[in-house]
Structure 1
Amino acid sequence: MDYGIIQGIITLVVMFTFLGIFSWAYSSRRKDQFDEAANLVFEDESSTKSGEQK
């Protein structure tokens, strides 16, 4: 194997990894979880557990 083939294989692995993460992030099955996570900053602090201290 020469350097060009190894470079091509690495490029394909990185490209498929990117496409996998992209499809996971924009999947409609994940939308509810991402919306919930996005709204966490707007929740009232009094709704946290009573035993927790900062």
Structure 2
Amino acid sequence: MEINDLRSILTVIALLCFLGIVAWAYSKGAKKGFEEAAQLPFTDEDPPAGDKADGQRKEG
């Protein structure tokens, strides 16, 4: 087996992996998860009143 045969096989495997990822991304089953992830920045969950968002405590 020559190096070019190995390169050809790896190219075909990479193409099949890419097509599998694309098929999964556009499948109906993944849509719900993507919609939930898209709404994460808009969730209205406030931190507790005593905590600061950056984790620093006020001295003094």
TM-score of the pair, normalised by structure 2:
0.72
* Residue in 2 that maps onto 1:21: 21
Deviations 1:3-48 (A, max 9, x none): 11101000011000100111111111111111011101100123x7
RMSD value, Cα? 1.7
Give the SS at the match of 1:8: helix
Unpaired runs of 5+ in structure 1?
none
Q: Identity, % of aligned pairs?
A: 40
User: What are the ranges of 5 or more consecutive residues in structure 2 without an aligned counterpart?
Assistant: 56-60
CA distance in 2, matches of 1:7, 1:30: 32
* Structure number having the greater helix percentage: 1
User: 2:39 & 2:5 partners in 1: Cα distance?
Assistant: 46
Asked if residue 30 in structure 1 is aligned to residue 30 in structure 2, the reply is yes
- Determine if the alignment matches structure 1 residue 4 to structure 2 residue 8: no
